[in-house]
Amino acid sequence: MARFIIEGGRALKGEIRAQGAKNSALPILTASLLCSGKVVIHNCPNLSDVRAVFKILRHLGASVEFSDSTAVIDTAGVNRYDIPDDLMREMRSSALFLGALAGRMGKAVMSFPGGCELGPRPIDLHTSALCRLGFSICEEYGELKLERSSMRAATIDLGFPSVGATENILLAAAISEGETIITGSAREPEIIDLAAFLNSAGADIKGAGESTILIKGVKRLYGTEYGVMSDRIETATYMSFAGLTGGEIFIKGADPSALSAVIPVVEAAGPRVYPVPGGIYINGRGTIYSVPPIRTMPYPGFPTDAQAPIMAMLSIARGTTIFIENIFESRYKHVDELNRMGADIRTEGRTAVVSGVPKLYGAKVVAKDLRGGAALVGAALCAEGRSEIKGICHIDRGYQSLDTTLKSLGADIIRK
């Protein structure tokens, strides 16, 4: 199993280019299933999760070509509506194929996406919304079977602004008769990106990014060419790396507008963040200070995906910072590993108390999820001595060639 060996203590310096957003690329690639005609997607990150979507699309009969961050998808040959268990398990957001297959084929058979490393990951909001749209869904032996009974437009009130459920409704209702309204929808920038992609293919969706979204069903979607937004969580991660190493990084193509909850926290901790034409420049030189309590919330609140990397940065702060994780139940798996490196973090339920320490030390640690893995990389970059990080398959799900990018910034990191 591959691992990272990192010799800590080098300030990261230089310029990198922001990757396309994983959480936009996955739903947009899935949505290409709805388009008749060639779909060209630019700024598509080369990640193991993205390659898992390609596998599912190919299994369903689509052709997929991918090179230089551009994916070209032709769904003319799609003739299946089943997804085998092993492909479903490769990627957490495979649940989005439920909405896409509902829209394309009126049918889907797939295994339950199930729980994951962040704790249980139910899809009850997805399935009840699809039922409201006139699909019948039954579950047998862990397998989900969806069938169109009488597709109808509906008003769907999501009790919680679930990102995935909002996306599944957009996918299922884009091609339909009548008007579907989502109230209480997720407002993440990636929802805006998905809706913009669908609109570029001929859909009629208004209000994405707000709590109420109006989807006027259209008869068909066409081929289109679209560029994925930049990855705000990758940018937040590099901000934490700059703070941890006292480095200076210019992230070309990064968008500060999607980070309005993160930038004030990073700046309150000490690093200076400058939105400049063409990207974001971060100066992480100087002392890291503790900040007021950080509560993860649905957008526009502080993103749960940035919790772990920012926690790593605050583990070396002067003072104590409290985190409250409101989105996922088990999102503190990096804490024990950070403590192995000398951090002083205690958790109880949804709360973590991070008492800053003057120094972290290299250690053997294991990445147990994607963002927690990135937090360990950040800690290792700052630590005195050598760290070995196992479980980097989790990191590869969301960061394109993290080791190569870090090397270009002067880090001493090897993949072994």
Site residues for ligand UD1 per CB under 6 A: 23, 26, 93, 121-126, 160, 162-165, 186, 190, 303-305, 327-328
At its nearest, how many Å lie between ligand UD1 and the CB of residue 168? Answer: 9
Peptide bond into 300 cis (omega under 30): yes
From residue 88, alpha-carbon distances to 95, 114, 159 in Å are 8, 9, 26
Q: Which of 35, 116, 138, 393 is catalytic?
A: 116
Of the two residues 26 and 100, which places its CB atom closer to ligand UD1 in the complex?
26
Q: Can you say whether the dihedral through the CA atoms of 314, 308, 386, 248 is positive or negative?
A: negative
Burial of 267 (0-12, 13-18, 19+ CB in 10 A): middle
To ligand UD1, the closest distance from the beta carbon of 375 in angstroms equals 14
Nearest distance, CB of residue 158 and ligand UD1, angstroms: 9
Q: Provide the β-strand partners of residue 6.
A: 387, 413
Give me the least distance between CB of 129 and ligand UD1, in Å please.
Answer: 9
Residue with Cβ nearer ligand UD1 (169 or 263): 169
Smallest gap from residue 91 Cβ to ligand UD1 (A): 8
Q: What is the DSSP letter of 133?
A: T
Which phi and psi angles does 251 have, rounded to 5°? -105, 105
Closest CB to ligand UD1 among residues 328, 399: 328
Task: Please spell the DSSP secondary structure of 196-221, one letter per residue.
Answer: HHHHHTT-EEE-BTBS-EEEE-BS-E
Using CB atoms, what's the residue nearest to ligand UD1? 164
The C-alpha atoms of residue 162 and residue 412 are separated, in whole angstroms, by 39
**Rounded CA separation 164/95 (Å):** 8
Helices (H) and strands (E) in the chain, counts: 14, 24
Nearer to ligand UD1, 23 or 75 (CB): 23
Shortest Å, Cβ 376 to ligand UD1: 18
Tell the smallest beta-carbon distance from residue 120 to ligand UD1 (Å): 6
Largest separation between any pair of C-alpha atoms in the chain: 63
Residue whose CB is less far from ligand UD1, 75 or 304? 304
User: What residues contact 68, with CB distance under 8 A and at least 6 apart?
Assistant: none
Let me know the angle formed at the C-alpha of 377 by 42 and 10, rounded to the nearest 5 degrees.
105
Nearer to ligand UD1, 3 or 331 (CB): 331
| Helix or strand holding residue 232 (H, E) | helix 232-245
Going across the sheet that includes 248-252, the strands are 13-17, 248-252, 279-283, 272-276
**In 63-213, alpha helices (H):** 85-90, 96-105, 124-132, 163-173, 189-200
Catalytic (active site) residue 44: no
**C-beta of 6 vs 156, nearer to ligand UD1:** 156
Which residues does the annotation mark as catalytic? Answer: 116
